[in-house]
Structure 1
């Protein structure tokens, strides 16, 4: 991907290549222009942008903003409210509700996987606590150091943790 698209690369973070994902971030007109350039360069190298696998999220900071359409070869890229990137949910409305829900679900999955140890009456409490702190809690707290949580979101995490501990 680097060789055919070398001339299209801007300074980071405006163009970011990760595996086969390209994340572009500019104003709507510049973004449409950049998408057209990418489609043209890829087409000359017998590659294409898959419309079925491509979507965009627009960060609308007020409700009056119009969400733009981004066509590639006359077919518009679908708009999504959120997407998952490197294990975290990124939401167009800048809320963390989906990320908190995802983290709680992942921690429950981890708890269920460790339930043989966590629910064993013959296992010492100290050992159960160590397993919980090593397996379940990190699953819930993954990437949370940057979260500006609301009280409601903090409460959801706290309630889930208290239920697991019981």
Structure 2
């Protein structure tokens, strides 16, 4: 059994998308494949303020569900062209990876032979911090969010 995801049909009009979708369905079914009517979705990007086209996108007589955003090739595309949701998801994925790795990376009891702390640059950061070259590497936890914390010198002034 074969699966194909993330097929994009682009056209200037809704009627053109309907024609392409029907052609796609007929071609797949003639080769023995099936196009899922329940999982097929579409997103319409209407960047023109003057042209509003009515009607639905349909697949073999069944109306296709319209979505406001899609995940396509690792990015989130939104119908209004914004990137807010994509940026939010990338930031949360980065914090998730940091939380997964920080317990091992920052623990000096874990031997370096277990994993390559040197390859990840942890040793270089620690040496630079000890020499006073790196000042803002610690993170403070306030109000449920991680924010940079200043490192104070001996006299209380910010380093």
TM range (shorter): 0.5 to 0.7
Could you tell me which residue of structure 2 aligns to residue 106 of structure 1? Answer: 93
User: Cα 1:78–1:63, aligned 2, differ >3 Å: closer, same or farther?
Assistant: farther
1:63 positional shift: 6.3
What is the TM-score when the length of structure 2 is the normalising length? 0.60
Could you tell me which residue of structure 2 aligns to residue 55 of structure 1? Answer: 41
Once residues 104 and 70 of structure 1 are traced to their aligned partners in structure 2, the CA distance between those partners, rounded to angstroms, is 34
Shifted more, 113-122 versus 45-54: the winner is 113-122
Which of these two proteins has the greater Rg computed from alpha carbons? Answer: 2
1:88 corresponds to which of 53, 75, 85: 75
Does the 8 Å contact 2:37/2:64 carry over to 1? yes
1:163 positional shift: 2.4
Matches within 5 A, 1:1-166: 19-27=4-12, 28-61=14-47, 65-66=52-53, 68-117=55-104, 119-120=106-107, 130-131=121-122, 163=146, 165-166=148-149
Please identify which structure carries the higher helix content. Answer: 1
User: Cα 1:71–1:96, aligned 2, differ >3 Å: closer, same or farther?
Assistant: same
Unaligned runs of 5+ in 2: 111-117, 123-144, 150-159
Structure number with the bigger relative contact order (C-alpha 8 A, sep ≥ 6) is 1
Once residues 35 and 62 of structure 2 are traced to their aligned partners in structure 1, the CA distance between those partners, rounded to angstroms, is 11
Could you tell me which residue of structure 1 aligns to residue 128 of structure 2? Answer: none
User: Cα 1:19–1:45, aligned 2, differ >3 Å: closer, same or farther?
Assistant: closer
What is the TM-score when the length of structure 1 is the normalising length? 0.57
User: Cα 1:164–1:54, aligned 2, differ >3 Å: closer, same or farther?
Assistant: farther
User: Cα 1:19–1:49, aligned 2, differ >3 Å: closer, same or farther?
Assistant: closer
1:118 positional shift: 5.2
Q: Which runs of 4+ in 1 moved over 6 A?
A: none
User: Cα 1:122–1:66, aligned 2, differ >3 Å: closer, same or farther?
Assistant: farther
Once residues 58 and 77 of structure 1 are traced to their aligned partners in structure 2, the CA distance between those partners, rounded to angstroms, is 12
Aligned residues: 116
